[in-house]
Structure 1
């Protein structure tokens, strides 16, 4: 085992949720963009599962990824914003409004087995 392994995480839900768009997440992680998963009205564990699945997708071989991973964050602790290239999960939809806080926004809709991915530019043009 390597320090970046996250245990028994299944990538299938991540791929099922985002389909071919999962490659945008993959690219964002490899290029150290800030990736934020938002799961409004979702359990924190579901959001954390997506974050950890993202880590499992690229680690190994990408090392030290776990240091920039925050499976569950909230408005009372925004320290993750100081980490370049973070991968974080939240349940509060307020994070969607702050497009300067993220480079890639992954909005979960797990009851419908789907999700939507936006860059900050795409989100501003909506």
Structure 2
């Protein structure tokens, strides 16, 4: 018994190898959804001490309000919202990044107080 291969249409193959459509490279002129403009934050290295403290205070207030709201909404038999814990953790990360970037900026400027802080941190044993 001789089996033959099914015939393939040759029309499909050239379509894949043809040049791209001329409209492919044109920029779409239809309006896109508006993207909210993000606030450009001042680099931590250039922030004044007062601005850095205000930013840290703002983050602390957000953390405290999230914790307070989650405690007020707790009821017996109702599970604790893990989403609130994730939001608090995000705020904590923001706060830690601000501190780290400030310390790194001070170290780049060879600030003597920053150097002593790093030396103290390195000497602490866990």
| TM-score of the pair, normalised by structure 1 | 0.26
Larger helix proportion, structure 1 or 2?
2
| TM-score of the pair, normalised by structure 2 | 0.26
Larger strand proportion, structure 1 or 2?
1
Q: Which structure: larger Rg?
A: 2
